[in-house]
Amino acid sequence: MTFYTYDYLINQNSNHTILQLAVISIIILVIALLSWLWYRHKTDLKYRDLFIIMVLVLLLLVGIQVNEWQTLQSTFSQKSQVTQIMQRIAKEKGVKPSQVQSNTSTVSSGMLVYVQGHIYNVTVNTDGNSYTLTPATPINQPIKTVRK
């Protein structure tokens, strides 16, 4: 059974987004260079063709980036809800939020929370505004913690 620390959920980021933005920036520079070469050599159509190909690749990458951004926004929203629940549980149990761990990064009924050697089952109300903690006991599963 894997539990994620509060710090892990707060600090988790995606480096592939930065990589994709770097690739998009490089393609924009290549497009600028190709447009300059196309302007300079108007009779040589290979620069025009390369320019068109690079613009299409840029549009494809921007579309992928927008799709991933929407997915990241949804994931961030879910993690934010989990961390809010973890903060409330920490306050209720009188511990620091960094001592609370969750087995998932999305809010759902049946989510497990590990606090000071005790595991609790979190049942979220259907409106998502309240939760109930009940003690839970794992069945012969070692607990693995994922930290920063």
For the segment 13-41, what is each residue's pLDDT rounded down to a tens digit? 556 667 778 888 898 999 999 888 888 88
Structural domain including 26 reads: 2-146
Digit-coded pLDDT (tens) for 93-127: 999 988 899 988 888 778 899 998 889 999 888 77
Structurally, the chain folds into a number of domains equal to: 1
Per-residue pLDDT at 12: 67
Which pLDDT belongs to residue 98?
86
What is the pLDDT confidence band of residue 56, given thresholds at 50, 70 and 90? very high
Written in H, E and C, the secondary structure of the chain is CEEEEHHHHHHCCCHHHHHHHHHHHHHHHHHHHHHHHHHHCCCCHHHHHHHHHHHHHHHHHHHHHHHHHHHHHHHHHHHHHHHHHHHHHHHHHCCCHHHEEECCCCCCCCEEEEECCEEEEEEECCCCCCEEEEEECCCCCCCEEECC
**Mean pLDDT score of the chain, rounded to an integer?**
84
Report the predicted TM-score, pTM, of the whole model to 2 decimal places.
Answer: 0.63
**Residue scoring higher pLDDT (120 or 11):** 120
